[in-house]
Structure 1
Amino acid sequence: MKYGIIGAGAMGLRYGVLLQEKAGKEVEYVEPWQPNVDKIREQGGAYVSRDHENRHLVKADIYSPEDYGEKLRREGGDPDVWIIMLKQMQLEDALKRCADAGIFKDHQVVFSAMNGWGHFDKILNYFPKERIYGGTAMVASVFNGPGDVDFIGKPGAGTMHICAMTEEITDIEKEMVADLDKTGFNPQVTQNFRGTCLAKVIFNSVINSLCTMYEITMGQFISYPGAMDMARQLINEAYDALERDGFKPIQDREAAVQEVDYVSRVANPLHYPSMYQDMHNGRKTEVDYINGYIAEVGRRVDSPCRTQEFLRHCLHIAELAFQIHKKEAAEAGSK
């Protein structure tokens, strides 16, 4: 089975590289951001580290959507599975470029474990629900810049879930799981699509937002004596609203709280979440698709998520403050 990765950033490269190296699969990358395409081509691949060590070059066949469409018309060789790992704000334009380039085919399926909620509505414009798989990826990676990624955590330390949008277990899903198991992602199949995907949204509404706002690692956050109280408040608020909206969780509330503790304290204590990385690289964060999504559901079902809403505003202020301080530092340095 051949894989195509849409989005060669932190998570896209992690999935692609490990499928190449550990599962022996053919992987090609479609990247909408041209500087990343250019750098990886210039280097002859992407530089990959693990926990800031053993930096080495890994071959990566990478294309813009338009270039990939031309390649397929010349040579054929369509992927069987697309893995989409982009930021929510990038997705709509990237999907349109891919569709316009003619790289989506009727035999293909798509899997995405993006952060936030909203991407499946966009993917449904190009793939029927029978060919869509979602899930979670409880692993950490850092995108240092074009063509340079750092996998955080020991091999095999992460976990992921995968679920068909139809909630039926299929043969191609079993094959994907077998491949992903070789990579050390420890995939688990579920039959609760929304519950599976929202589990990561709830987790990120705690970790991503608070670590980014205070510019601390996950381990530093969990070392605060009141961290678990904060996690429990945000998680209970999210469950109250989402359950009223028909959400059937894959784990109970206390298990969700304990997952925050385990991932922060044991699995990835040195990790700055992707939202922090976005802010520090001048990119807009996905807070509106995480805390903002939960708050939106709460308003719709009359179960106000005041803490989630407040935290969404706090993150936007943190974005603003970071840009102000960055500008002030640059001005001071030019004097």
Structure 2
Amino acid sequence: MKYGIIGAGAMGVRYGVMLQENAGVDVDFIDTWEPNVEKIREQGGVSVARDHANRRIVPVNIYYPEEYKGHPDVWIVFKKQMQLAEELERDNKAGIFHDDQYVFSAMNGMGHFEKIANYFPKANIICGTAMIATRMDGPADVDFMGAEGDEVMHMARYNNEKPDEKTQAIFDDFTKAKLGPVFADEWMGMCMSKVVFNAVTNTLCTMFEMQMGQFIEYPGVRKMSRQLFDEAYDACERAGIYLIATRQEQVDSVITVSQDYKYHYPSMYQDFSKGRPTEVDYINGYIAKIGREHDYVCRTHEFVVQEVHMAEMMRKYHQPQTNVADQQNDSKKAGVRV
């Protein structure tokens, strides 16, 4: 099948390049960030490394929406939550969406599938999550983090039906691409499992400008994580949402994942450090929203949402730390997308 990637950022490039190189399928990239598009065209592709080593130029096809004339079988969407509605509307006006196309997304946070459903039939939407760390240091400059074969992702249909023929074909291509796909029975519990994980690691590391390894040095991490997880699980259970990991498994994963990526910062901090709005409203804020809708107040999540927004405001007075890990060791850079 042919794939189109909407958003040639860290994760969009990761999926597109691995599909192109490992699965041998045709891939086109659609992007609206002009510096990125022009840099890719200037250097003849995307500059890609894995764990800071073996950097090379990978030739890719990249287009602005208005100039694209292709017809992929599947769109893969990786945009920031705050940018998605505008991006989809621009793509739609450009006439690049068609009724026979499927769409997959494994973006951080929640709320994107409802936006995607404005343009695609529910049966054609595949929801995903990805425990795949990737960093983007600048236009057309991406680093795949972690050893090849460590990639893990989950996927489920938006209508919660069993995989149809096309969904199975996408799964098979992801397998060939070495993206480590696993089917889940239903999408909401699958996606919320990732959201509540990010609501701990991404949010707390951003608030205190910490690398993930520094975060788990604090002896109270398990207790803090448990408090946030308990609120999230209580809210989800009241809403009839059941996560694919237990509370204890989530607490344990905070430690193991942070150990694996101990020298790096989560994606929320990368947005924060570069002066961009964070996705906290789509992560902790989404958990709090579910709670309020079901007569349960997630007081800790509501509080940390305000703390992150306060930290964003304080950038007027204090510049966030940048490239701290680079100063410590060039091979231990910041900026992992988890």
- Does residue 94 in structure 1 map to residue 94 in structure 2? no
Match of 2:174 among 180, 183, 187: 180
Equivalent position of 1:325 in the other structure:
318
CA distance in 2, matches of 1:230, 1:124: 36
Equivalent position of 1:39 in the other structure:
39
CA distance in 1, matches of 2:315, 2:177: 37
Superposed CA offset, 1:172-216 (max 9, x none): 121111111223221100111101111111111001101111111
CA distance in 2, matches of 1:244, 1:121: 21
Contact 1:117 1:293 in 2 (8 A): yes
CA distance in 1, matches of 2:197, 2:272: 19
Equivalent position of 1:103 in the other structure:
96
Alignment of 1:1-335 (within 5 A): 1-68=1-68, 72=69, 77-167=70-160, 168-266=162-260, 268-326=261-319
Superposed CA offset, 1:217-265 (max 9, x none): 2122122211111111111100101110111211221122222222111
Contact 1:218 1:264 in 2 (8 A): yes
TM-score by length of 1: 0.92
C-alpha displacement at 1:269, in angstroms? 2.2
SS in 1 for 2:200: helix
CA distance in 1, matches of 2:95, 2:247: 44
Q: After alignment, is 118-127 or 224-233 more displaced?
A: 224-233
CA distance in 2, matches of 1:318, 1:53: 34
Q: CA RMSD in A?
A: 1.3
CA distance in 1, matches of 2:219, 2:177: 35
SS in 2 for 1:149: strand
> Higher helix proportion, which one?
1
TM-score by length of 2: 0.92
Q: After alignment, is 167-176 or 196-205 more displaced?
A: 167-176
Equivalent position of 2:328 in the other structure:
none
C-alpha displacement at 1:303, in angstroms? 1.2
Equivalent position of 1:333 in the other structure:
none
Whichever residue aligns with residue 300 of structure 1, its letter is E
C-alpha displacement at 1:323, in angstroms? 3.7
Superposed CA offset, 1:142-166 (max 9, x none): 1111111111111111210000012
Superposed CA offset, 1:106-152 (max 9, x none): 11100001111111111010001100000100011111111111111
The alignment-based identity, stated in percent, is: 54
SS in 1 for 2:23: coil
CA distance in 2, matches of 1:158, 1:222: 22
CA distance in 1, matches of 2:225, 2:195: 13
C-alpha displacement at 1:65, in angstroms? 0.9
CA distance in 1, matches of 2:295, 2:181: 35
SS in 2 for 1:278: helix
CA distance in 2, matches of 1:319, 1:190: 36
SS in 2 for 1:326: coil
CA distance in 1, matches of 2:63, 2:44: 13
SS in 1 for 2:317: helix
Q: Which runs of 5+ in 2 are unaligned?
A: 321-338
CA distance in 1, matches of 2:243, 2:138: 36
CA distance in 2, matches of 1:235, 1:276: 20
Q: Which runs of 5+ in 1 are unaligned?
A: 328-335
CA distance in 1, matches of 2:223, 2:151: 25
SS in 2 for 1:22: helix
